[in-house]
Every structure is written in structure tokens, then in C-alpha cells.
Amino acid sequence: MLKIDNLHANAGDTEILKGLSLAIDAGEVHAIMGPNGSGKSTLAHVLAGRDGYEVTSGSVTYQGTDLLPLAPEERAWHGIFLGFQYPIEIPGVNNTYLLKAALNARRKFHGEPEIDAAQFLRIIKDKARMMKMDQSFLNRSVNEGFSGGEKKRNEVFQMAVLEPQLAILDETDSGLDIDALKVVAAGVNALRSKDRAFLLVTHYQRLLDYIEPDHVHVLAGGRIIKSGDKTLAHELEAQGYDWVLREAAGA
Amino acid sequence: MATAAKIRDTRVTAALATVADAFGAGSDAAAPNWLQSSREKAFAAFLTTGFPLARSEDWKYTSLAGFAERSAEYLHNRPTGDDDTTVAALLDALPHSEGGIRIVFVNGRYRPDLSTASGAATGVVLTPYSTADDATGRRILDRQPVDDNALIALNTAFLVDGLAIRVADGCRVDEPIHVVFASDGQPAAVQPRLSIEIGREADAFIVQHHIGTGKGLTNAVTGIDCAEQAHLFFVRLQDESTQSIHVANQIAHMATGSRLDGISIDFGAQLARNDLEVDLSGERAHANLFGLFMASGNRHVDNHLRVDHRMPNTSSMENYRGIVSDAARGVFNGKIIVHPGADGTDAQMSNRNLLLSERAEIDTKPELEIYTDDVKCAHGSTTGRLDANSIFYLRARGIPEADARMMLVAAFAQEIIDHVRSRAPTLATYLSHRMSQQLPDVTQ
Ligand SMILES: Nc1ncnc2c1ncn2[C@@H]1O[C@H](COP(=O)(O)OP(=O)(O)O)[C@@H](O)[C@H]1O
Ligand SMILES: [Mg+2]
């Protein structure tokens, strides 16, 4: 589904991604862990098409086509979703209104008619219930006045409504208490399917207790320096990153 | 002084002579008798001060040369009748009034045939100046600004009609009192006048709504008087044609424990200048003032605000937003004066502007004069472009870039409009609709 090959990317004048390669197949859940500042959010942003990053070499192929020339909205229409590490507040833009506009923009791109209003309402009510979000959140401005945990929950709620093919969740688990973490994990697990893939950026092995990854990668210095299965996450939790960094330096 | 400003001042002075001729050409037969002496007094005052000139600090960014010249031309050339076809079309586009009270003025004159006051609660007295007898008229005038500044003096001098709204003590009026001032596009120098008196512990909702077509000219004056514990929810909606010139003054006196919720919206006019003065002259009087102005093309919108805290524990909150695009210009000047003895004053002022083009311009200036120690004052102003993070967030959800920009501009304006919603949902929906029609092209 997604193939990243030797990707180099700058933010401003600084090279952040320095030859990153990663392949994700449909149905898989990949976790990316790594020290602060190692380039995890940069990777997520480059995949979502954010301005301000320059890809200097390498390639990203998504569903067989070159992803990099596409605008952020086009990537969304093709099924890419980014859950933000720091979801922003957008006063005056209603949560429900945003989701309806987003769904309809995608449907329009695919030559489908606008979503039926009643059906849409049913969907958002169901998903809000699944995310244990109060219905009142639906009619509030996007993230405005939400607590940190509510914002993260809202990201997963949006994901659940939009049903992407490839969901990139950037530290969605940070700042969540255990109950919220379980809800977020349940939201992700409910969406897992054989033709959908997840890229979970996380700091803590904790999330992976609830969402079992197929692959775990360590991102450091702008590259994947080690990959393994879920046991790698446990090792990192127990021993930190130093041994991986040393191992990579020694190799 | 810059040469351009000097030339403008010369134009203004020339216009003044023509205006004097118009006044001298004889009193207006339609004006009630009881207005005559005030008109003369105001005119004398106007002649002394003249039109405000560029050299005055209050008029630094806004030239009244065009206003003066159009006044001179239109005051000489008064239409004999209203263009009813045009007026009907203008009125048709308005929201259906929520309680049924709508008072309509065309080119400054009351039109009973277009007005409905049947829904008025007992305790609400609506008096068009043209229907007032001498005693009533003099009582109305008593409470009204006559010549507080040049524009108010000009309004009084050429005043032919107006509306006095009086809400009796303890009376609560839920349905909005919708006062419409329509200009039909004929050359008329319209001097609308609204006099509002809210009795003790009374509560009312009044909409002052300006609509028009063509090259209108409006010089509006509103006097507001809130007695002890009174509450007024006041919406001023300037939605005139984009070729019109619109200047307006509102002066509000707030007695002990009274509260003013004001929302001032400028959608239209080639040149709009709005002066709002709120005098918190009783203890614990409170004013909540919201504003929204949108200017595109080469239009110019200037909001001047002045709040006087004269007594202890008074509070004011101002929240004005501007959206300026193309080569348009917006001005915001907010003055807060905390007088000696007004201890416990709480004054908050915020002005935020969206500047949507390189050529657009905003001049924003807060002025605080504080003569007592025990105060809480805060002011802030920001002027910027659309937030890149917000645009990216929306695009990442699948909103096309152009739509994302539109959504953010609309959201910025909507936040002001939302303050009307709890009191008047129909009006809020209408305002949103009008706002979306004014949105500048931000698709680039
Ligand atoms: N716009 C930018 N300009 C310059 N440096 C940046 C920019 N964005 C991020 N960085 C730097 O890139 C590095 C990686 O950041 P980030 O991808 O956010 O790391 P992570 O998410 O792994 O903590 C950090 O050192 C950060 O300071
Ligand atoms: Mg990060």
C-alpha cells in the first residue's frame, strides 16, 4: 500500500529525514517509536503533504502511484488520514460541518453524490458513541475548548467517520489517561481490516498493549535504524533507546 | 500637513458653503414645528465647526471630503417621492421579523404603509417624529443629542423625521423591534434618527437596519438611554449599497446596574464611519460591545468606539473584528476612559483583523486613559492572514484549499454573529447568509 524509499526531507534548511525506507502492506499495523526530535512528526507531515518540507531525494509510492505531487486534500481523497500530534482549535468551524464537507469533497472527487443527511447523522452519532464522546461535541467548534484528551479522541472520531485506507496517527496516545487510551485503542481496533493500514507514531509501549502492531520500527536521526515485531517495543520500554542507538552506530 | 489632506480640506470647506445655502433655502415643510428651534440651533453649531477636517486626530484615516460634497449636492436636490418598486425589492430581501414589529423609513421619512407595529407589547411606545405633537416632540428632543459633534449637528439641522422608542419601566419585550432605514437610490441626504429609552428594569431588543441601493448618503444618529437595571440588546446593521456613503453616531447613557449588549455590523458602503459612545454613568453599568466589519474592493470602513467609565464597578467588553481584502481599508479606534473615582472598573478590549491581500490596510489603535488605580484593563489587537496550520488541518481532512480558506474567513465572522443567535435565531441566520454573500474571493 505504501512504499517509502530512501526518503530525504528538509524542514527549512535542516535535513530531518535522512534516507528513510519503510513498506506497509494493506491490513498491517506499523508502530514507529523513537526519541524526541528524531523526525517522527516530520515523516507524518511529509506523508500528509504539509507545506514547509522539501523532499530532496527518494520516493513515496502509495497504492502504486507517486504520492509526493499530490495536494493534502487529494491525499485525503485517496484515503490518507493524519491524526495530529497537536490538534489545533478552529473556532467558528463546526465539527459536524467539517466532517460533512470533508466526506462530500471526497465523494465529489470520486464522482459520487453528496451523502444523505439522515445517513450522515446516523454515522456521526454511532461513531461519537463508540468514542464515548458527548453528542454536544458534535456541534462545537473543532477542538475549541477541548481538553488535551478530548482533542485526541476527536481525531480518532474523525478518522472513524472518514474511514481512511491509511491512517497515520501521530502520538495520539500522548497525554491520555488509561480510560481515554482504551477508548482510542478501541476506535482504532474497530477500524482494523484487511484492506486498511495504520502507521502509529508513539512514544510509549503502553498504546501497543491495546493495539497489537505487526511491525515496530525505531526512528532515530531521520532513519529507521531497527525494525522488529511487537517484542521490540517491550525491549525499548524496558531498556530505553540507547542500546539501539549504540547498535546502529556500531553496525 | 500633507498636500492631499489640504486639498481635501479645501473641498470640504467649499461644500460647507453649499450646505449653508441649502439650509437657507427654507425650512422643510415636512419637519414638525417642535423641531424648528433645535434645527436652527444645530445648524448654527454646525456652521461654527464645519465638517470634520483631516487635521483632526479623530479623522486622521478617514476623509469626509466625499461625504461633504455629496451632502452639498443632495441637500439641494431632494426627491419628491419614493421609488416604491425599488423599496419593495429591498424590503422583500429582509428576514421575516420574528415578532412582527417593523418600522420602515424611506429616504429618512416614516412610511406607515410599509410598517407594522401590531405586535408591540403594551409598554412599548413607538412614536415617529412626524406624528408627534409639540409636547411629545419636545419631550423626545429633551433626551436627544442635538449638536454633540458636527455630524450630529448636521443630522439635527436637516432632520425631518425619526423614531422614538420608549419601553416602560419593568416591561420586557422579547420580540425584536426592527427599524429599517431604506434608501431608494435617489439623490437624498438622509438623516435617520432613532431615540431609544429603556425604562427601569425593562428589557428590549432593537435592530437598527440600514439598507439601500445606488449612491446613497446617510448620516444616522441614535440616542440610547437606559434607566436603572435596564437591559438593551441592540443590533446595528449597516448593509447599504457598496457605492453609498454612510456615517453614523450612537450615543448611549447607561444608568446604575443597566446593561447594553451591542452588536455593530458593517457589510456595505463605499465609505462607512461609525462612532459609538457609551457612557457608563451609573454604578455597575455594563456594556458588551461586539463588532464586525467587512470591506473589499477599495472600500473604507472606520469604527470609532469610546467608552467612559464614570462610576465605580462599571465594566465593558469590546470585541471587534474586521475582514479586509483587495485594496480596502479598515480602521478601528477604541478609546476607554476610566474617570477619577471609577474604582473597580473592568474594561477589556480586543480588535482582531484578517488582512486578506497585500494591498489591503488596517489601522488599529487602542487608547486607554486611566485616572484611577483600582482598575482591570486589558486590550489587545492582532492583524494577520489566515492561519497556515488551520488551512493545513482542513486540507488534511479533504477540504479543498479554496474552500478551507473560505471556511476560515466565514468562521472568523461567524463568531461575532453567533452572539445574536441566543436572542434572535432568525436574524442570526440572516446575518450568516448576508455574511457569506460578502465573503471576499480568497481562492487566489
Ligand atoms: N519547520 C522546521 N524547521 C526547522 N526544523 C524543524 C522544523 N520542524 C521540525 N524541525 C526539527 O526537526 C526535528 C524533528 O522534529 P519532529 O519531526 O517534530 O520530531 P519528533 O516528532 O520525532 O519528535 C527536530 O529537531 C525539530 O526541531
Ligand atoms: Mg512529534
Ligand 1 pocket, A39 CB below 6 A?
yes
Closest CA to B116 of B129, B126, B99, B103: B103
- Judged by a CB distance cut-off of 8 A, whether residue A143 touches chain B is no
Other Cβ atoms closer than 10 A to B187: 17
User: What pLDDT sits at residue B205?
Assistant: 95
Residues 6 or more apart in contact with residue A235 via CB below 8 angstroms = none
Q: What is A2-250's CATH number? A: 3.40.50.300
Question: Cβ(B278)–Cβ(B304) under 8 Å?
Answer: no
Ligand 1 pocket, A37 CB below 6 A?
yes
User: What pLDDT sits at residue B78?
Assistant: 77
CA distance A46 to B115: 61
Distance A38 CA to ligand 2 centre (A): 8
| pLDDT tens digits for range A188-217 | 999 999 999 999 999 888 899 999 999 999
Distance A223 CA to ligand 1 centre (A): 14
CA distance B431 to B425: 10
B389/A102 CB distance under 8 A:
no
| pLDDT tens digits for range B193-202 | 999 999 999 9
Ligand 1 pocket, A45 CB below 6 A?
no
Closest CA to B191 of B152, B139, B136, B133: B152
- Judged by a CB distance cut-off of 8 A, whether residue B396 touches chain A is yes
Q: Is B3 helix (H, G, I), strand (E, B) or coil?
A: helix
Q: For an interface test with B, which of A46, A74, A90 has the most B Cβ atoms less than 10 Å from its Cβ?
A: A90
**Atom 16 (ligand 1): residue with closest C-alpha?**
A39
User: What pLDDT sits at residue B374?
Assistant: 93
**In chain B, which residues have their Cβ closer than 8 Å to the Cβ of A162?**
397-398
- Judged by a CB distance cut-off of 8 A, whether residue B379 touches chain A is no
Ligand 1 pocket, A51 CB below 6 A?
no
Identify the sign of the CA torsion A162, A167, A169, A172: positive
User: What pLDDT sits at residue B444?
Assistant: 57
**In chain A, which residues have their Cβ closer than 8 Å to the Cβ of B435?**
none
Closest CA to B207 of B423, B433, B410: B423
- Judged by a CB distance cut-off of 8 A, whether residue A114 touches chain B is no
Q: For an interface test with B, which of A80, A93, A159, A161 has the most B Cβ atoms less than 10 Å from its Cβ?
A: A93
Return the ligand number nearest the Cα of A219.
1
Residue linked to cell 437591559: B231
What is the reported pTM?
0.92
Residue A235 burial (C-beta neighbours within 10 Å; 0-12, 13-18, 19+): middle
| pLDDT tens digits for range A20-52 | 999 999 999 999 999 999 999 999 999 999 999
Helix, strand, coil in percent for chain B, rounding step 5: 30, 35, 35
User: What pLDDT sits at residue B27?
Assistant: 56
- Judged by a CB distance cut-off of 8 A, whether residue B91 touches chain A is no
User: What pLDDT sits at residue A183?
Assistant: 92
**Atom 2 (ligand 1): residue with closest C-alpha?**
A11
**In chain B, which residues have their Cβ closer than 8 Å to the Cβ of A103?**
398
Cell readout for B140 is 423626545
User: What pLDDT sits at residue B98?
Assistant: 57
CA distance B243 to B398: 38
Other Cβ atoms closer than 10 A to B88: 12
3-state per-residue secondary structure call for B377-408: EEEEEEEECCCHHHHHHHHHCCCCHHHHHHHH
Cell readout for A63 is 497504492
A160-169, A233-242, B83-92, B336-345: which range is least confident on average? A233-242
For chain A, the structural domain boundaries read 2-250
> How many residues are there in chain B?
444
Eight-state DSSP code of residue B116: B
Cross-strand bridge partners of residue B232: B204, B260
What type of residue is A80? I
Ligand 1 pocket, A11 CB below 6 A?
yes
Question: Cβ(B82)–Cβ(B190) under 8 Å?
Answer: no
CA distance A136 to A117: 18
User: What pLDDT sits at residue B443?
Assistant: 64
Work out the pLDDT band at A248, boundaries 50, 70, 90.
confident
Question: Cβ(B296)–Cβ(B290) under 8 Å?
Answer: no
DSSP E strands in A25-149: the ranges are 29-33, 53-62, 65-66, 80-83, 90-94, 141-142
Q: Is B230 helix (H, G, I), strand (E, B) or coil?
A: coil
Residues 6 or more apart in contact with residue B128 via CB below 8 angstroms = B103, B110, B112, B161, B162, B163, B164
* Low-confidence stretches of chain B (pLDDT beneath 50): none
Work out the pLDDT band at A88, boundaries 50, 70, 90.
very high
Question: On the CB side of B360, how many CA atoms lie within 13 Å of its CA?
Answer: 25
CA distance B316 to B332: 17
DSSP E strands in A176-245: the ranges are 197-201, 215-220, 223-228
- Judged by a CB distance cut-off of 8 A, whether residue A23 touches chain B is no
User: What pLDDT sits at residue A239?
Assistant: 87
Question: Cβ(B217)–Cβ(B71) under 8 Å?
Answer: yes
CA distance B211 to B106: 10
Ligand 1 pocket, A14 CB below 6 A?
yes
Angle at CA of residue A163, ends A161 and A164, nearest 5° = 135
Evaluate if residue A251 carries a pLDDT over 70. Answer: no
User: What pLDDT sits at residue B99?
Assistant: 63
Residues 6 or more apart in contact with residue B113 via CB below 8 angstroms = none
Closest CA to A186 of A218, A203, A209: A209
